[in-house]
């Protein structure tokens, strides 16, 4: 008997429902956050219905969008894929999208049924104008992936007013591990940020780049208890993507990825929300980039399959969000087998970048 075809929309909808349910449970002891999460749960169900209606019309809308709202960053983290791809620099370059342009994108995402927009960079806290614009879209949850060095009283007030903005602080483990990658003193600044957020009853999460070296540490009871005690409500594990041959040994292989999957399954339902990115590609029918589950808009407006695959044949300044989802490059990636290919670790599109470049050249011809 043949297997039933994989239902990506149902898989994604179930995943979103799980994240939201876990978030509601994680905030039950905080009345204001719990009230917002319950409101967002209702908005998320409405967004899911929009995506299902679009699917019935033959159009697939992903529930997630990654928005790199600036190319500027004040840190030089070891092994940063964004700097290696020249997508992150020390100063804000010209021609970045304005807050008005980003707000138009957020508006279109809301209309399409996108539930989550991950704000990234560079360092997104350098663009307060865009973060304040995001705060005006309560139907969308905006995790802000930040190094934490710009979080202070002014941002605390914004986060208190706009509960759909959730800072996700980048941390690599203990002080030694974090400072080794991000710079001396960064760990202590992160701890002060966590304490400030917790004292004000503001929800926040942690983003952890997982390597073969820190896998055991960052899934340990000691590390997770420290985060929980400081008020952290979500841990997002991001698999390390090797951008040089020398760093390839840090990327998780099948065995390490299975350990991470088992640990997350064991931890779910305890204290915090646990998410893995890119997650288990086998259970999701392959990589979910290029609009299958998410896509990326860079700070200049280029629509890309993924932050780790910085290729674009369309700019959001010239088209709508819906049209960008149907770009020739995205369509070729979704219709072909590249997203289903086996790969050594990290990101299939980065590993197969020569093939992505060939598809990009063809889309432009």
Domains defined along the chain, listed by start:
8-364 (3.20.20.70)
* Lookup: tokens for 340: 């289903």
Q: What is the pLDDT of residue 2?
A: 42
Q: What is the pLDDT of residue 1?
A: 39
Q: Exposed (0-12), middle (13-18) or buried (19+): which is 210, by Cβ within 10 Å?
A: buried
Q: What is the pLDDT of residue 339?
A: 82
Judge whether 182 and 170 are in contact, CB under 8 Å: yes
* 10-residue averages of pLDDT along the chain (365 residues): 61 81 83 88 94 94 95 82 70 83 97 96 94 96 95 95 95 93 94 94 93 93 94 91 77 88 83 79 73 94 92 95 95 85 66 87 81
Judge whether 314 and 327 are in contact, CB under 8 Å: yes
Of the chain, the end-to-end C-alpha distance in Å amounts to: 43
Torsions phi, psi for 35 (to 5 deg): -65, -45
Q: What is the pLDDT of residue 77?
A: 80
Place of tokens 């695959």: 309
Q: What is the largest CA-CA distance in the chain?
A: 61
* Lookup: tokens for 159: 């986060």
Torsion (CA) 284, 288, 293, 296 in degrees, nearest 10: 160
Torsions phi, psi for 37 (to 5 deg): -65, -35
DSSP 165-203: EEEEEE--SSHHHHHHHH-TTHHHHHHHHHHHHHHTT--
Q: What is the pLDDT of residue 145?
A: 96
3-state secondary structure of 72: strand
* Lookup: tokens for 38: 């319950």
Judge whether 19 and 48 are in contact, CB under 8 Å: no
Q: What is the pLDDT of residue 86?
A: 66
Pinpoint the alpha helices (H) of 183-294: 186-199, 215-218, 221-229, 254-267
pTM (2 d.p.):
0.91
**CA 279/CA 223 separation, integer angstroms:** 21
Residue 321 has a CB neighbour count (10 Å cut-off) of: 21
């Amino acid at each position: 008997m043949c297997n039933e075809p994989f239902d990506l929309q149902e898989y994604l909808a179930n995943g979103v429902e799980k994240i939201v349910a876990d978030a509601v449970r994680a905030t039950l002891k905080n009345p204001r956050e719990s009230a917002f999460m319950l409101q967002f749960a209702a908005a998320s169900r409405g967004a899911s219905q929009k995506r299902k209606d679009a699917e019935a019309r033959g159009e697939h809308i992903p529930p997630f969008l990654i928005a790199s709202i600036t190319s500027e960053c004040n840190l030089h983290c070891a092994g940063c894929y964004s700097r290696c791809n020249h997508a992150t620099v020390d100063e804000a370059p010209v021609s970045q999208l304005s807050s008005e342009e980003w707000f138009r994108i957020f508006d279109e995402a809301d209309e399409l049924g996108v539930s989550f927009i991950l704000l990234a960079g560079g360092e997104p806290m350098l663009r307060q104008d865009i973060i304040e614009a995001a705060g005006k879209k309560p139907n969308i949850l905006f995790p802000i992936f930040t190094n934490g060095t710009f979080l202070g009283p002014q941002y605390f007030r914004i986060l208190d007013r706009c509960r759909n903005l959730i800072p996700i602080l980048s941390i690599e483990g203990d002080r030694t591990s974090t400072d080794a990658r991000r710079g001396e003193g960064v760990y202590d600044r992160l701890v002060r940020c966590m304490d400030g957020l917790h004292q004000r009853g503001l929800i926040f999460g942690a983003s952890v780049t997982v390597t073969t070296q820190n896998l055991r540490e960052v899934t340990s009871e000691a590390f997770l208890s420290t985060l929980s005690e400081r008020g952290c409500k979500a841990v997002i594990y991001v698999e390390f993507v090797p951008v040089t041959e020398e760093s390839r040994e840090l990327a998780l292989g099948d065995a390490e990825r299975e350990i991470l999957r088992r640990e997350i399954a064991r931890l779910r339902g305890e204290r915090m929300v646990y998410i893995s990115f890119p997650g288990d590609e086998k259970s999701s029918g392959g990589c979910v980039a290029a609009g299958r589950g998410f896509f990326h808009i860079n700070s200049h407006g280029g629509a890309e399959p993924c932050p780790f695959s910085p290729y674009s044949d369309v700019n959001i300044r010239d088209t709508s969000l819906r049209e960008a989802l149907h770009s020739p490059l995205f369509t070729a990636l979704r219709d072909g087998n590249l997203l289903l290919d086996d790969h050594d670790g990290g990101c299939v599109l980065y590993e197969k970048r020569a093939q992505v470049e060939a598809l990009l050249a063809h889309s432009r011809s």
